Every structure is written in structure tokens, then in C-alpha cells.
């Protein structure tokens, strides 16, 4: 039985509050509640998306290379003999079986792969323990990609050289 009072009596020991339909007390109790659940859902979806999308460059790394000055003569010591750089020629081809070709300038065995180039350079490096080898780790090495050489092959040759622990490696101007 509904009465004008603010409570409804169901049992003797239970009272359930019933908001009155009008009046000053009703205006005080009415609260606006905005449901934020969907907002937070969308927000977190956006957050996860952008976090994943902006990690694209995480796998990018760099080779540091000091560029020689190719124009103009620089100061030099007249009493020192500059080492003749070891020239490594690289070229690309359309042959899928052998997409690149490596040539070491000089009377050396010619490597067929970048791994063979790495092994050759490593074996010819001066080793203080055995007092053997031809080139020390600062011997200048020049990589000369031919016209039309793909950048990936030039970089592979560069990588084979620096992983053989040579520090003075440069690229030549295209011929």
C-alpha cells in the first residue's frame, strides 16, 4: 500500500525507501550518473593501438660510418706511407641463383658469398698471438659497388667487413 510518506511498509521489520515524486527532498536526492564504461573501453583500445603502431621502428639499428673527405687534399704527414686500401668490388645481377658477385682486388682467392668474404678478411687480419696476417684492424678497406648494385648487397659487403673487425671501412664513389 503506497502512502504519501517517504517509506513503504511491507513488513513490520523492513522498510524500503521510496523517493517521493515531487518536493524538495526529491530534487536533493536525484543524481546524474554518466556510465563511463564504454568510454574507458574505447580509450584503452585507442591506447593499445597507438602503442603497437608506434613501435614499428624498434627493429631499426644503424651502422656508424665516418665519411672520408673526397674533395680536396687534406693535411698529411710526408714521412708516412699511406696504406693502399683493399678494394672490394660488389655488383648485383638478375640471376636468382647468384644475385651478387664479389671481387677482391689483388692476388687473393675470390669469395663467392658474403660469409666467404667475412672468413677471408678474418683470416688475413693481423693476429698478435700468432704474428701472422696481412692487414691490421685499421687497414683501409674500400667497398666499390658497381653501377646498378642493389643497396642491400652494398650493405651486406659492409657488414661482412665490419663483422670481421675492421674499423676503417668506406664506400667508394660510383664508377
For the CB of residue 107, give the shortest distance to other proteins in the complex, in Å: 26
Given the complex with other proteins, which of 51 and 131 has the nearer CB atom? Answer: 51
For the CB of residue 148, give the shortest distance to other proteins in the complex, in Å: 5
> Which three three-digit cell numbers place residue 135?
692487414
Site residues (vs other proteins, CB under 8 A): 13, 15, 17, 36, 39-40, 43-44, 46-47, 50-51, 53-54, 56-57, 59-72, 114-115, 145-152, 154-156, 158-159, 162-163, 171, 173-174
For the CB of residue 111, give the shortest distance to other proteins in the complex, in Å: 15
Q: Could you tell me how far CA 57 lies from the centroid of its own chain? A: 5
Given the complex with other proteins, which of 84 and 152 has the nearer CB atom? Answer: 152
Secondary structure of residue 43 in the 3-state scheme: helix
Given the complex with other proteins, which of 86 and 89 has the nearer CB atom? Answer: 89
For the CB of residue 78, give the shortest distance to other proteins in the complex, in Å: 22
Show Cβ contacts of residue 164 under 8 Å, excluding neighbours closer than 6 positions.
118, 121, 122, 125
Core vs surface per residue 112-134: b (16+ CB within 10 A) or e: eebeebbebbeebbeeeeeeeee
Show Cβ contacts of residue 2 under 8 Å, excluding neighbours closer than 6 positions.
8, 18
Given the complex with other proteins, which of 61 and 131 has the nearer CB atom? Answer: 61
Amino acid at each position: 500500500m503506497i502512502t504519501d510518506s517517504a517509506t513503504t511498509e511491507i513488513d513490520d521489520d523492513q522498510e524500503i525507501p521510496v523517493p517521493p515524486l515531487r518536493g524538495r527532498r526529491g530534487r536533493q536526492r536525484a543524481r546524474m550518473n554518466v556510465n563511463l564504461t564504454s568510454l574507458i573501453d574505447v580509450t584503452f583500445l585507442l591506447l593499445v593501438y597507438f602503442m603497437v603502431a608506434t613501435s614499428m621502428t624498434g627493429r631499426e639499428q644503424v651502422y656508424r660510418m665516418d665519411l672520408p673527405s673526397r674533395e680536396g687534399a687534406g693535411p698529411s704527414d710526408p714521412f708516412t706511407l699511406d696504406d693502399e686500401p683493399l678494394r672490394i668490388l660488389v655488383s648485383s645481377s638478375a640471376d636468382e641463383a647468384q644475385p651478387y658477385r664479389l671481387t677482391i682486388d689483388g692476388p687473393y682467392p675470390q669469395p663467392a658469398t658474403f660469409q666467404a668474404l667475412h672468413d677471408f678478411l678474418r683470416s688475413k687480419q693481423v693476429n698478435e698471438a700468432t704474428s701472422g696476417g696481412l692487414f691490421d684492424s685499421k687497414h683501409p678497406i674500400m667497398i666499390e659497388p658497381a653501377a646498378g648494385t642493389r643497396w642491400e648487397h652494398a650493405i651486406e659487403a659492409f657488414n661482412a667487413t665490419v663483422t670481421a673487425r675492421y674499423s676503417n671501412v668506406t664506400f667508394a664513389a660510383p664508377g
